[in-house]
Amino acid sequence: MRMTVIGTGYVGVVHAACMADIGHDVLGVDIDEGRVAALSEGKAPIYEPGLNELLARTVRSGRLRFSTSTTDAARFARLHFVCVGTPQVRGGEAADVSHVDAVVDSMAPHVQPGSLIVGKSTVPVGTTARLGARLRAVAPHSEIAWNPEFLREGFAVADTRRPERIVVGVESRRAEAVLREIYQPMLISGVPFFSTDPATAELVKVASNAFLATKISFINAMAEVCDAAGADVVTLAEAVGADPRIGHRFLQPGLGFGGSCFPKDIRAFAARAEELGAGEAISFLHQVDEINTRQRRRTVDLARHLVGGSFAGLRIAGLGAAFKPESDDVRDSPALDVASAIRREGAEVRVHDPEAVDNARHRFPGLQYALDVPKACEGADLVLHLTAWPEYREISPAELGSVVRNRQILDARATLDAASWRSAGWTLSALGRPKITGMYTD
**Contact of 319 with 392, CB cutoff 8 Å:** yes
Alpha carbons 230 and 439: distance in angstroms, whole number: 9
Which candidate, 291, 364, 237, places its Cα nearest to that of 299? 291
**Contact of 95 with 123, CB cutoff 8 Å:** yes
Alpha carbons 400 and 395: distance in angstroms, whole number: 7
Alpha carbons 292 and 260: distance in angstroms, whole number: 14
Residue 226 annotated to the active site: no
3-state helix, strand, coil in the chain (%, to 5): 45, 15, 40
Please report, for residues 6, 24, 44, 66, 113, the alpha-carbon distance to residue 41 in angstroms, rounded to integers and kept in the order given: 18, 19, 9, 10, 32
Angle, in degrees to the nearest 10, between helices 198-229 and 233-241: 140
Identity of residue 166: I
Q: Which of 18, 83, 226, 261 is catalytic?
A: 261
Identity of residue 223: A
Q: What are phi and psi of 116, to 5 degrees?
A: -125, 120
* Residue 391 CA to its chain's centroid (Å): 20
116 membership: H or E segment, kind and range: strand 116-119
How many CB atoms neighbour CB 102 within 10 A? 14
* Residue 311 CB contacts under 8 Å (≥ 6 apart), including other chains: 303, 304, 342, 345, 346, 347
**Contact of 135 with 108, CB cutoff 8 Å:** yes
**Contact of 336 with 357, CB cutoff 8 Å:** no
**Contact of 411 with 430, CB cutoff 8 Å:** yes
Strand, coil or helix: 89:
coil
339 membership: H or E segment, kind and range: helix 334-344
**CB-count burial class (<10 Å; 0-12, 13-18, 19+) for 127:** buried
143 membership: H or E segment, kind and range: strand 143-146
Q: Which residues are catalytic?
A: 261
